[in-house]
A and B are shown apart, each in its own frame.
Chain A
Amino acid sequence: MKRKINLKNYPSKSGHFDAFGGVYVSETLIHPLRELFSAYKKYATSASFKKTLNSQLKDYVGRPTPIYYAESLSKELGSSHIYLKREDLNHTGAHKINNALGQALLAKKMGKTRIIAETGAGQHGVATATACARLNLKCVVYMGEEDINRQSVNVYRMKLLGAEVVSVNSGTKTLKDALNEALRDWVTNVDDTHYIIGSVAGPHPYPMIVRDFQSVIGYEARNQFKKEYKCLPDYLVACVGGGSNAIGLFHPFLNDKVKIVGVEAGGSGIKSGKHAAPLSAGSPGVLHGNRTYIMEDENGQIKNTHSISAGLDYPGVGPEHSWLKDLKRVEYTAVTDDEALDAFFTLTQKEGIIPALETAHALAYAFQLAKKLKNKKILLNLSGRGDKDIDTIAKLKNIKL
C-alpha cells in the first residue's frame, strides 16, 4: 500500500468502504438508521457536544490513558520494545466505554429514553449499563446464554448498574445471536429506543460512529508517542473480534509509515476449523447489516465459531477491517487459544498487569514479533483488563475459587 488513503471519503455517503459495509437491513430500520446518521452529523461534530464528551472522558472515564513501556518484558524477549496503550485503566476496565458514553450522550440528544445493547464478554454491556446509569437511561442488554455462563461477574455488574440482562438462547447462544436479538428489539421499539452497537460492525452509520468514538485511542497514542519518544511506533498491534479497539488505535495512523497488524482468535488453530477468524480464513458475505468477511459454509449459512474469549467469538468483523485487508494496508493474522493463554500468564507474571483474554491474543502476537525483530518499537492496544476472565482461567487450571 503506497498511495495515501483519502480517509474523509470512507465510508461513502451510502455507507460503503468500497465493496464492504453498506446497509443490509429490512425496510423498517432504514429510517431510524438515517435519523441516527443525521443526529450524529448534527450533534457529534458540534463543539458543545465534543466539549461535554471530552470532559466526561477526562473526569469520568479517566482519559487520557497512559502508554506504558513494558521494559523488563521487552528485554527478556529481545532487542525490540513493547509499549502498552492502557485502555484497561479506563473506568469499567476496557475501551468499550469510549463508544458507549459517546452514543449514550447522542441518544440523550436524540430524545431517546431506552437503550439496548448486545454483549459478548460483557465489557460492552457493562460500559453501556454504566453510561445509562450515569445519564438516567433505561438499559436492556442482550447476551448469549453461553456467554452469561462464562462471564457471570460481568452479568452481575450490569444488574447492579440497573440494567436488565436478557439471556439469548437462539442459534449459537453467543454474541452473534445477541446481536440478532438486539436488532429484533430495535425494529420493534424504534420510537423510543437507541441501539448502542458495541463494535464497528452492523449497518451504516454504526461502523463509522463507533470508529470515530474509539479513535480517541489512536489520536491520544499518536500524540503521546511523538511527545515522549520523538517518533512514531514501527508497529501497531491489536486484537480483532468485531474490531472496535483495533480500528480505534489504527485509524489515526493509517496514513503514517507504520506497520499495522490485527490479531484474530485462532481458537484450536485455523486448520482445525474451530476458530473465529473470518479475515484469516473466511470469505466476503452479508451479515448483520453489512458486507464483510464472514465465516460461512458452502451454502452461505453462518458457521459456528470457537474462541476461548467471548469477546472475539464472532463470525464477522467490521467492514472497514475487510476493506483494509483487501487494500493490504493492515495485515491480519490469528493466534490460538493456547498462545493467548500463555501470553495472559506472561504479562500477568512479568509486568503485574492482568489482561483480558481478548487482549491476550494481541499480546501473543506482539511477543512473537518482539522475538523476531531487532530494535523495533511495538505499540499494543491493551484493550481491557482480565478480572472478568478469572473464572475461566481458574476453571482451566482446575482451581475452585
Chain B
Amino acid sequence: MTSRIPNIFNKNKSKNKKTFISYLVCGDPTKDITLSAMHTMSKYGVDIIELGIPFTDPIADGPTIQKSIDRSLKNNTSLHDVISVVKEFRKENNDTAVVLMGYMNPVHKMGVAKFAKKINDTGIDGVLIVDSPPEESVILNKYLTKYKKSHIYLASPTTTDQRMKNISKMSSGYVYYVTIKGITGSQLSNVNSIRKNVNKIKKYSNNNLPVAVGFGIKDSSSAQKMAAFSDGIIIGSSIVELIHKYSNNEKKMNSKLSTYISSISNVI
C-alpha cells in the first residue's frame, strides 16, 4: 500500500493537531521490547514511528543513541530483524506509520532494490537514510517512488536556500528539519532561527510538504515550542533513554512510556 504519512499529516491538520513522531532503536534490548514499546507509543498518541536500524558507526548520533545501538548490536539485530519487527507490528496495527531510519551501509549490503521491495511488502511507509543526501540517493529514490513510499530527507541550519529548495522538491512524506548543528541528544538553541528556517522550507515546497523538527526536543515544553510553527515534532534520545531505564520490567516501561507520550501528545 502507499505511504500512510500524507494522510496522517492531513488528518492532524484538520483537527488542528501537530504530528507526533518518535524514534527508537530496534532491538534494544530485544525485538520483543521494541515491539511492545511501539504499540504503547501508538496507543498514547504517536503518529509516526521512526524505527532505527542499528549500525556500528552512527556518525550523526550522540552518546545516548550510540549506546542504544551498541546494546542492540550485542544481539546481532540486523536489517532483516528490523523488517520482521514491523511485520509483527502490522499484525495488530494498520494506522501508525513506520519509517525505517538508519545509515546507508546495511541497506547497501542488502541491495537497494531488495530493500525497497521488502519495505513495500512489509507495510513500511518511508525511509530516512541519515548519511545519504539526495545526491547519493538517486537509485533508492527511484524505487521508493515506484512503490509510492515516502523518502524523507534532512535539512539543517547549514543548508543553503538553494539546497532547501531541492530538498523540499526531492522529499516526500515530510522534511526532517534538524534544529541544531550537532548530533542527536544535544541541547536546543535558537528558536527564532529554527522558526525562520522551517518557514523557508515551507515556502519553497510546492506540494505543501509538512516540515517536522527534531534534535533537542526532550519534554512537553520544548515540544510545544517547536510544534507552534512546525507540522510535527520528533523525539528520539529521551524515548531511547526511558526505554533503556525500564527495559528489565516491561510493564513498568510501558506505563512510564504511556505517561511520557501522553504528556507530549496533549500539548501539541
Contacts and interface: CB of A to CB of B under 8 A. Distances in A.
A binds B: yes
Interface of A: 14, 22-32, 170-171, 176-177, 180, 183-184, 187-191, 284-289, 291, 294, 296, 298-302
15 contacts: A22-B136, A25-B131, A25-B133, A26-B60, A28-B60, A28-B178, A30-B163, A31-B160, A170-B66, A188-B181, A285-B108, A285-B109, A287-B105, A299-B80, A299-B109
B243 interface: no
Contacts of B63: 170
Contacts of B79: 299-300
Given A28-B178, A190-B158, A299-B106, A286 B133 contact: no
Nearest to B177: A27
Nearest to B77: A299
Interface of B: 54-63, 66, 70, 73, 76, 78-80, 103-110, 130-133, 135-136, 153-160, 163, 167, 178, 181-183, 186
A26 B186 contact: no
Nearest to A32: B158
Contact of A27 (B107, B178, B183): B178
B178 A301 contact: no
B159 A30 contact: yes
B107 A300 contact: yes
Nearest to B109: A300
Report whether over half of chain B's contact residues are helix, strand or loop; otherwise say mixed: loop
A171 B69 CA distance: 10
Contact of A26 (B70, B105, B131, B135): B131
Given A176-B57, A187-B60, A302-B57, A27 B106 contact: no
A32 B181 CA distance: 11
Contacts of B182: 28, 187-188
Shortest 5 CB-CB contacts between residues of A and residues of B: A300-B109, A300-B106, A299-B78, A27-B154, A31-B158
A177 B59 CA distance: 9
Given A26-B130, A31-B160, A170-B66, A180 B154 contact: no
A189 to B, nearest CB: 8
B6 to A, nearest CB: 22
A300 B155 CA distance: 26
Contacts of A298: 109
Contact of A288 (B57, B107, B163): B57
A24 B57 contact: no
Nearest to B186: A188
Contacts of A22: 135-136
A19 to B, nearest CB: 12
A286 B131 CA distance: 9
A31 B66 contact: no
Contacts of B109: 285, 296, 298-300
Contacts of A299: 76, 78-80, 106, 109
Nearest to B81: A299
B96 to A, nearest CB: 26
Contacts of A188: 181-183, 186
Nearest to A189: B181
A187 B183 contact: yes
A344 B159 CA distance: 49
A304 B214 CA distance: 32
Nearest to B182: A188
Contacts of A284: 108
Given A188-B182, A288-B59, A300 B110 contact: yes
A301 B183 contact: no
A326 B156 CA distance: 36
B108 A286 contact: yes
B158 A171 contact: no
